[in-house]
Amino acid sequence: MAFKIQRMPSAALGVLAILVAIAGASCSSEPARPSEPGPTLSLPAIDRSAGANARASLNEMTGEVVLPMSAYWYSDRENVMVNSAVAFLIFDCVEEAGFTVASWGGGGKALQDSRYGQWSRALAAKNGALPEIRKIPGVMEEQPERPALSSKQQEAESQCTKSVGRAGLPELLEGLVGDTSIQNQISDIAVGLTERDPEFVAFRRGWEDCLAGRGLKLTEAGSWNLQSTGSKEDEIRVALLALDCKDAGGGARKPYDILAQYQAAQMKDHQAELNALAEEKAAAVERARQILRDHGVADARL
C-alpha cells in the first residue's frame, strides 16, 4: 500500500501477514525514500527556476507531504486498495487449493516524511523528532488474529504468493530498490540537486549555527537529529528549538519547496512519459477497485 515501503514479505509468514505488510508498507520506513541519490547517480544540470512556482504541501496535523511527483505514485489509500486486491487474489488461489481462509481485514500505516527532520510544530509538541505514524483505513474491518496454519496451508500460501505475484498491478511507490523508472529517476535527482543547492546549503548552515548558539548538538554530522537526554519532555523541547532555528532561516518547509521545484523543473521534459504513467496508475487503481467490489467490498470503503 502506500506504505512506503518494504514490499511483499515472505509468504511463509502467511497471507494475512502479507496483507498487513503490503497494506501497511507505508510505515515500513522512511528510508525507502532515499535521503540522497546513490553514489553512482549522475546529477544533470537542472535550472530550478523552471519549476519556481512549485510548492510542497505539508499537512501539519497528519505529517503527510505532497510533492509534484506524488501524482505519479500511489497515494497511501490507493496503495492499501491495490495491495488488498492482490491479497484477495492470493486468498482465492489458496481456497482453490482446498484450504479455508479465515476472515481478515484492517488498515495500514504511513510514516511521516522526515528526510529533513521534523517540520511540524504540532507533531513536534506531540512526538518530538519522531515521525508521526498515520493510520490508513482498510477496505475491511479489522479481524482477530488468524488461527495457526498447518504446514500444508503455509506451503499453499507460499506457492500462491509466488504464482499470483502482483497480478499485473504495478507497484508505484517511491524509492523501491532497483527501480530505474523515469519517475524514480526524477525523484532521486531532485533529492541530490536539493542537497547541493546553494539556498539549501545556506539554510542548512544557518540552522546548524543557530543550534550551536543554543547549545544543541547533532547526533552525527549531516544528520537532522539532535542529541537530548532521552526523556520525552527533552525530546519535545529539543525538537521545538530545532524548529525555531528552521523558522529563523526561512521556515521548515523551505527544503521541501526546493525539492518540489527540482521535481517540477524536470517534469517538463518528461511530460509524455508521465502522462502515460498517470494513465497506468489510474487503470491499476480502477482494476483494484473492481477486484475489491467483486469480493464484496462496499463502494463506501473504496
Q: What is the pLDDT of residues 17-59, one digit of tens each?
A: 445 444 444 343 343 444 445 455 689 999 999 999 999 999 9
Position 231 pLDDT exceeds 70: yes
pLDDT band at 107 (very low <50, low <70, confident <90, very high): confident
Pairing verdict, β 133-136 and 108-111: antiparallel
Task: Output the CA angle 99-104-109, nearest 5 degrees.
Answer: 140
Question: What's the half-sphere exposure (Cβ side, CA atoms, 13 Å) at 240?
Answer: 11
| Dihedral of the alpha carbons of 229, 230, 236, 240, in degrees to the nearest 10 | 50
State the cell numbers at 130.
Answer: 519522531
Position 6 pLDDT exceeds 50: no
Contact in structure between 109 and 138 (CB atoms under 8 Å): no
Position 84 pLDDT exceeds 70: yes
Q: How many CB atoms lie within 10 A of CB 43?
A: 14
Q: How many CB atoms lie within 10 A of CB 272?
A: 8
Res 146: pLDDT = 80
Percent share of the chain, pLDDT over 70 = 86
Q: Which of 79-93, 98-112, 269-283 is the least confident region?
A: 98-112
Q: Which of 5-9, 249-253, 287-291 is the least confident region?
A: 5-9
Position 161 pLDDT exceeds 90: yes
pLDDT band at 144 (very low <50, low <70, confident <90, very high): confident
Contacts of 161 (CB under 8 A, 6+ apart): 8, 11, 15, 18, 90
Contact in structure between 56 and 261 (CB atoms under 8 Å): no
Contact in structure between 266 and 49 (CB atoms under 8 Å): no
Give Cα 125 to chain centroid, integer Å.
23
pLDDT greater at residue 18 or residue 226: 226
Listed residue (252, 278, 230) closest to 63, CA to CA: 252
Listed residue (59, 85, 86) closest to 70, CA to CA: 59
